[in-house]
Amino acid sequence: MRPGMHTEIWRIVLVGLVAFLLGWNLGYPLEIVLVGIGIYIVWTFRIISKLFKWIDKGMRGIPPETDGVWGEISDTLNRQYRRHRRTQEKMRKTIRRANRLTEALDEGIMVLRSDLTIDWWNNSAASLLGLRSSDRGSAVMNLIRDPEFVEYIHQDEFIDSIELSSIIQSERLLKLSASRFGANEIALVVTDITRLNSLEQLRKEFVGNVSHELRTPLTVMRGYLETLQDMPSNTPSANAAFGQMSEQVTRMQALADDLIMISRLEADNQQLVVEAIKVKGLLLSIRTEAEALSDGKHTITLDCAEAIIIQAQDSDIRSALGNIVFNAVRHNPEGANIEIKVTEYQDFTDIAIRDDGVGIDTAEIPRLTERFYRGDSSRNSDTGGTGLGLAIVKHSINRCGGRLIINSRLGHGAEFICRLPKDNTQS
């Protein structure tokens, strides 16, 4: 039993006992006991009234002076109030710190309610999007009216980000990415990527220009080496040296060609020429080239219906599929089976290239489409590849509106799926 309750019980017992003894002496024991109980109730109500007044004032200041159960209640309320005040102060400090942090960020942050109206933003968002205090509560589509953004912000699940020109400075390029939180609210992050985009354009131009400039000297060197190799006065050691030099020049030419291909695919001004392509005819041509490369060391099968047609740019899709099939030949040992299978679905067509060869470590799969990433050196050291093949494949498939899916485990073969949309309206 709590001390306050113990005190209150003894107080009631004492009041009742004193009233009974006094009433017994006066000859009115019951009446005096009732009077004593009444006095105790009045005193209790007076204390309760003081306690409620203190509570109504926000429990500020010192609680009413009392003891017993009501004193213990007031002390408990006072402790709870002080604990609540300390918690509130901690929350205020945390909120102030979070506000200082968000205001210090270069990225703009905007919070949208579930109905896509603007609830809050930081200074960077105000600067990048031209927000004013009167914009709070307005629909974000009234501020950013780009159709691409309107389609993006209405998605049920945000996976990628979008890039848009600034609504206040058209030369600025902004990257917007959204995510849901709380009660279906949306956090919209806005990043100024103008400088990064300029640097990326410079990189693309540099790679493309250097690759083009390399072509002429490499062609000249290769021609002279072929001439020198054909000279009858050459010694065996000279022929071996010329052979190695010729091999390296060939690899450099392949690298330059691949870099030019990537530069072409990345160029923003490249027009995508979409046409109807008979998939089986295209894959038969690629299989013939792969069989010549394999020289009978692999079994290559094709499963594709005659009627399947895809909408894509011929050069892009031929380059992508050819790279995957030729890689399957180069990177797998003699006797491996390579299967090319085309499956048509309602909205897309899957072109899958599977093999039962050495496979790929699962940890390497996310990096396979990076430029110059060659994976496990034990598989690639003798292939003569440039490390750009799958980067070209990814760009080519993306330009056709599709995506590349890679499934593999080390020692269990690999599967590359080119998923292409039925309705490709890109241009």
Q: How far is CA 86 from the centre of its chain?
A: 38
Q: How many Å apart are CA 109 and CA 307, to the nearest integer? A: 50
Same-domain check for residues 153 and 95: no
Where is 327: in which H helix or E strand? Answer: helix 314-330
Do 319 and 229 reside in the same domain of the chain?
no
Predicted pLDDT at 380: 46
Whether 296 and 169 share a structural domain: no
User: What average pLDDT does range 348-356 have in this prediction?
Assistant: 91
Q: Do residues 39 and 96 both lie within one domain? A: yes
32 in a structural domain: yes
Q: For residue 60, is it within any domain?
A: yes
**Among 121, 116, 118, which Cα is nearest to 158's?**
116
Tell me 157's DSSP state: S
332 and 414 together in one domain: yes
Please indicate, yes or no, if residue 40 is contained in any of the structural domains. yes
- Per residue in 405-418, pLDDT (tens digit) is 989 888 888 999 99
pLDDT over 90, % of the chain: 12
Query: Could you tell me if 25 and 91 lie in one domain?
Result: yes
Q: Is residue 281 part of a domain?
A: yes
Q: Among 33, 68, 100, identify where a domain stops.
A: 100
CA dist list (Å): 163 to 127, 217, 395 = 17, 39, 18
Asked whether the beta carbons of 131 and 125 are under 8 A apart, the reply is yes
Tell me, yes or no, whether 154 lies in a domain: yes
Lowest mean pLDDT across 68-72, 112-116, 125-129, 361-365: 68-72
* Rounded Cα–Cα distance for residues 121 and 133 (Å): 10
Question: Residue 67: which domain range?
Answer: 3-100
Instruction: Give how many domains the chain has, as a whole number.
Output: 4
The more confident residue out of 283 and 424 is 283
Same domain assignment for residues 72 and 175: no
Please list, in sequence order, all residues whose beta carbon lies within 8 angstroms of the beta carbon of residue 39, skipping any fewer than 6 positions away.
15
Q: Residue holding tokens 């003798």? A: 382
Residues 92 and 113 reside in one and the same domain: no
Are 248 and 361 part of one and the same domain? Answer: no
Residues 313 and 404 in one domain: yes
**Contact present, 319 and 392 (Cβ < 8 Å):** yes
**For the purposes of burial, counting CB atoms within 10 Å of the CB of 42, is it exposed (0-12), middle (13-18) or buried (19 or more)?**
exposed
Residue 427 forms part of a structural domain: no
Two structure tokens written together for 213? 């400039």
CATH value at residue 182 = 3.30.450.20
164-214 tens-digit pLDDT: 888 887 778 899 999 998 888 999 999 888 888 777 777 767 766 777 777
Same domain (yes/no): 289, 402: yes
Which of 178 and 9 is assigned the larger pLDDT?
178
Q: Distance between CA 99 and CA 95 in Å, rounded?
A: 6
289 within domain boundaries: yes
Residues 6 or more apart whose Cβ sits within 8 Å of residue 366: none
Q: Rounded mean pLDDT of 59-72?
A: 76
Q: What is the pLDDT of residues 241-263, one digit of tens each?
A: 888 888 888 778 777 777 777 77
Contacts of 353 (CB under 8 A, 6+ apart): 321, 324, 325, 328, 338, 339, 340, 415, 416
Q: Which of 66, 82, 100 is the last residue of a domain?
A: 100
Task: Please check the confidence at residue 377 and state whether its pLDDT lies above 60.
Answer: no
Name the domain boundary from 192, 209, 239. 192
Mean pLDDT computed over every residue of the chain:
82
**What element of type H or E holds 241?**
helix 236-266
Q: What are the distances in angstroms from CA 112 to CA 65, 109, 130, 179, 180?
A: 50, 10, 16, 10, 9
Q: What is the CATH number of the domain that holds 219?
A: 1.10.287.130
Residues 146 and 239 in one domain: no
Check if the beta carbon of residue 392 is closer than 8 Å to that of residue 262: yes
- DSSP result, 2-17: -HHHHHHHHHHHHHHH
3-state secondary structure at position 173? strand
Which amino acid type is present at position 199?
Answer: L
The pLDDT of residue 385 is 59
Verdict on whether the full-model pTM lies above 0.75: no
On whether residue 426 sits in a domain, the answer given is no
d(CA 125, CA 107): 7
Amino acid 52: pLDDT: 84
